[in-house]
Structure formats: C-alpha cells, structure tokens
C-alpha cells in the first residue's frame, strides 16, 4: 500500500485525536520528514488535516472526490471497486478500462474520473459532464457469458443504478429501455456497455456509467438532462452514492451469476417505465415505429405491439415515450 494511503488509514483510525509526527514515523517506519511531505500531499488532494505543534496531526474532513482511498473507505463489496483507478481528467473512463482489461486487469476494477474530454454515450453520442460535479466511471466485468447474453448486463447495470438512486435519494427513478435512468421524464444517468469477445463468448465487458449528481449538462439529448441535486434542491455527496451503486450492482451481478439471468429481468421490470407505455422507436436505417411497449423478452430485447397489431422484437434503437396528451 502506498505510504500516503497507510498514513491516511492511521489518521482515520485515530479520528478525533492528534497523532504526533514521531508516532507516525515509528508506526510507518519512515522519517518525520517523509510523514510531513505526505501530510502535505494529502492536504493538496483535498483532505483537511489540522496540524498543532507538539500535538501532531488530526484528520478533520475527507474530500468528496473520486480518489481510490475514498472510494474504498466504507465500501462493503467483495468484487466491485477493487481495485480502483482514478483520474483527474481522462479521455473516457471506458477507453481506460478497455485498455486495462486488455492488459489483464482484474474483474471488479473501477476506473473513475473527475472529468472526461471525450466522454461518449450510446449511438455515437457525446456524454458531457461538468468537471468534479458528477459520477463518471467504468467497471470491468468478466461474467463468462455468451455474446447473446451481453445485453442483459446493460439491463442489470440500469437496475442497479436505479435501485441505488431510489434508496439513496428517495427520488422515483425509472428505466427507459434499454438503460436510460429517468426521473420525472428527465435523464439522470446513462450506461454504455462495450466488450471484447472470442469464439461466441465474452472475454470482458466494460460497463461505463455516468450519473448527473450535481450538474445536468445542457445538450442535444432528446430527453432533457436533470441532476439529482437539481431535483432535491441541494448538493449531494457523490461518494456515498457511488458506494451504493457498487453494492447494488454487485448484489444483482452475483445473484445473476449464481441463480441465472432471469433475476435481472425481474429487477429491471420492477423499475421499468415501459410497461404498456406508448412509444416511438427510431431504428438504425429504418422508418420509425410506433406502438405499445409490452416489456422485454429473455434476451433483453424490447417487445412492442405495433399500431397494426403485430408484435415486433427490438434489439437496438432510440425509444421515446409518447405522452398521452401529446398523442391526442
Ligand atoms: C448513454 O446514455 O448514451 C450512455 C452514457 C454513458 C456515459 C458514461 S460516463 C462514464 C463512461 N465513459 C464514457 O465515455 N461513457 C460512459
């Protein structure tokens, strides 16, 4: 473990008391100058540490920043978020996670960033987010499933994010197929799943998740973006929500691995706003469809009863909900 992390762990353990430079130096087996240097590094990273001559150091406040030590502190997962790789700025956490997975990074690895310069969404859209305000992260997963089962992971991610947002904020988050998380008609989170496969099987999946916690980007999204803070009328700490998402994600993931993927569909449907909804679907390279959404089949495809009565299975496309008033 890096020295700064060991120092921080000791400061946390002894919260509420001062610890002298001398004690740190003997507990950590380093010089007092090294202790001082690392205390400065922690302060520069946003930790508020009180320094009192002859008494020593005391941890007063930890930052709500995407730092490995902060993500791990209080995280109860066995797999997800371990290890964590954090960037102040990167192109896209999905790019970084894909590169790490190719190099053999462990399942569960999280790559998080305060800012992305080339954040991307589904259907080749850009994903914009204000630096330091929101959650931007990607998880490396190795479920050992077949390629056909891959869309279920996206549904699983949407169910986990929705569940965590609901329990954490009390807001009525819902899922619009396949994986947009909406609250009162505005998009609060999006998921982009990318994978590498070999011989019909998934080698690894990178599940990229963006949550508008404190800022909603103005953009050209068909569905307007909203933030949790905007809906609650107050700023929100990001780390506790991130830990809830990781915990819920892991619970649903391990359940699906152990008992089969049907459980994913049950969780997803519990939060879906698609049951019997009137929808318009823009299909890649085809005329758009209108009909009634009936739910998803066992592969995660959306079933729609078209206005003529036929049932159409949709595996990709952009769904818009048609509000009753708008249709009349
Ligand atoms: C969508 O709704 O279109 C999906 C958006 C996914 C955005 C996240 S932010 C973290 C990760 N890195 C990216 O470049 N994209 C995903």
Query: Average pLDDT of 37-59?
Result: 96
Whether residue 120 is predicted with pLDDT greater than 60 in this model: the reply is: yes
Ligand 1 centroid–CA 19 distance in Å is 43
Ligand 1 centroid–CA 186 distance in Å is 16
> For the chain, what is the mean pLDDT?
94
Whether residue 218 is predicted with pLDDT greater than 90 in this model: the reply is: no
Query: Average pLDDT of 103-131?
Result: 96
Query: Average pLDDT of 104-119?
Result: 98
Whether residue 314 is predicted with pLDDT greater than 90 in this model: the reply is: yes
Ligand 1 centroid–CA 322 distance in Å is 25
Instruction: Point out the ligand 1 atom lying closest to the alpha carbon of residue 118.
Output: 14
| More confident: 307 or 16 | 16
Q: Token pair for residue 222?
A: 């068909």
Ligand 1 site, residue 178, Cβ cutoff 6 A = no
Whether residue 261 is predicted with pLDDT greater than 80 in this model: the reply is: yes
Whether residue 327 is predicted with pLDDT greater than 50 in this model: the reply is: no
Whether residue 219 is predicted with pLDDT greater than 70 in this model: the reply is: no
Residue nearest to atom 7 of ligand 1 (CA): 210
Using CA atoms, how far apart are residues 193 and 114, in angstroms rounded to an integer? 20
Whether residue 20 is predicted with pLDDT greater than 90 in this model: the reply is: yes
Ligand 1 site, residue 151, Cβ cutoff 6 A = no
Per-residue pLDDT at 275: 86
Whether residue 12 is predicted with pLDDT greater than 70 in this model: the reply is: yes
Ligand 1 centroid–CA 59 distance in Å is 35
pLDDT category at 134 given cuts 50, 70, 90 is: very high
Whether residue 25 is predicted with pLDDT greater than 50 in this model: the reply is: yes
Whether residue 326 is predicted with pLDDT greater than 50 in this model: the reply is: no
The answer to whether the beta carbons of residues 96 and 87 sit under 8 Å apart is yes
> Vertex 113, ends 318 and 153: CA angle to 5°?
40
Nearest to 64 by CA among 55, 73, 56: 73
Whether residue 325 is predicted with pLDDT greater than 50 in this model: the reply is: no
Task: List strand residue ranges (DSSP E) for the chain, in order.
Answer: 48-52, 56-61, 84-90, 110-116, 135-141, 174-176, 180-183, 186-198, 201-211, 278-282, 289-296, 302-306, 311-314, 318-321
CA dihedral of residues 124, 127, 128, 133 (deg, nearest 10): -170
Ligand 1 site, residue 206, Cβ cutoff 6 A = no
DSSP characters over 253-317: HHHHHHH-THHHHHHHHHHBS-TT-EEEEEPTTS--EEEEEEEE-TTSPEEEEETTS-EEEESS-
Ligand 1 centroid–CA 111 distance in Å is 12
Percent of the chain predicted with pLDDT > 70: 98
Whether residue 284 is predicted with pLDDT greater than 70 in this model: the reply is: yes
Query: Average pLDDT of 75-79?
Result: 97
Residue from 192, 195, 209 whose mutation best tests the ligand 1 pocket (most atoms within 8 A of CB): 192
Q: Which helix (H) or strand (E) holds 31?
A: none
Ligand 1 centroid–CA 208 distance in Å is 5
pLDDT category at 220 given cuts 50, 70, 90 is: low
Using CA atoms, how far apart are residues 42 and 6, in angstroms rounded to an integer? 11
Per-residue pLDDT at 307: 83
Ligand 1 site, residue 93, Cβ cutoff 6 A = yes
Per-residue pLDDT at 273: 93
Query: Average pLDDT of 294-312?
Result: 93
Residue from 66, 85, 91, 94 whose mutation best tests the ligand 1 pocket (most atoms within 8 A of CB): 94
Per-residue pLDDT at 328: 36
Within 10 A of 121 (CB to CB), how many other CB atoms are there?
Answer: 18
């Amino acid at each position: 473990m890096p020295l700064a992390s060991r120092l921080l762990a000791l400061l946390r353990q002894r919260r509420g008391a001062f610890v002298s430079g001398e004690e740190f130096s003997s507990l950590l087996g380093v010089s007092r100058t090294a202790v001082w240097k690392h205390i400065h590094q922690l302060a520069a990273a946003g930790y508020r540490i009180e320094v009192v001559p002859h008494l020593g150091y005391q941890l007063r406040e930890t930052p709500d920043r995407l730092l490995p030590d902060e993500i791990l502190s209080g995280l109860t997962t066995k797999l997800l978020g371990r290890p964590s790789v954090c960037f102040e700025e990167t192109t896209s956490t999905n790019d970084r996670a894909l590169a790490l997975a190719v190099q053999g990074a462990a399942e569960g690895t999280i790559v998080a960033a305060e800012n992305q310069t080339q954040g991307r969404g589904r259907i080749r859209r850009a994903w914009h987010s204000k630096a330091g305000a929101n959650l931007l992260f990607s998880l490396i997963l190795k479920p050992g499933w077949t390629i056909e089962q891959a869309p279920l992971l996206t549904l699983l991610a949407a169910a986990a994010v929705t569940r965590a947002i609901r329990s954490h904020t009390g807001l009525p988050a819902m899922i619009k197929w396949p994986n947009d998380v909406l609250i009162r008609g505005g998009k609060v989170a999006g998921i982009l799943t990318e994978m590498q496969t070999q011989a019909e099987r998934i080698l690894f999946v990178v599940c990229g998740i963006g949550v508008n916690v404190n800022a909603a980007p103005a953009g050209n999204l068909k569905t307007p973006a909203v933030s949790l803070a905007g809906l609650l009328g107050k700023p929100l700490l990001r780390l506790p929500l991130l830990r809830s998402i990781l915990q819920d994600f892991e619970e649903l993931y391990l359940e699906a691995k152990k008992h089969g993927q049907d459980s994913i569909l049950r969780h997803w449907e519990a939060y879906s706003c698609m049951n019997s909804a009137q929808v318009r679907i823009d299909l890649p390279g085809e005329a758009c469809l209108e009909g009634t959404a009936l739910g998803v089949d066992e592969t995660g495809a959306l079933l729609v009863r078209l206005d003529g009565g036929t049932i159409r299975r949709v595996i990709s496309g952009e769904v818009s909900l048609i509000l009753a008033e708008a249709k009349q």
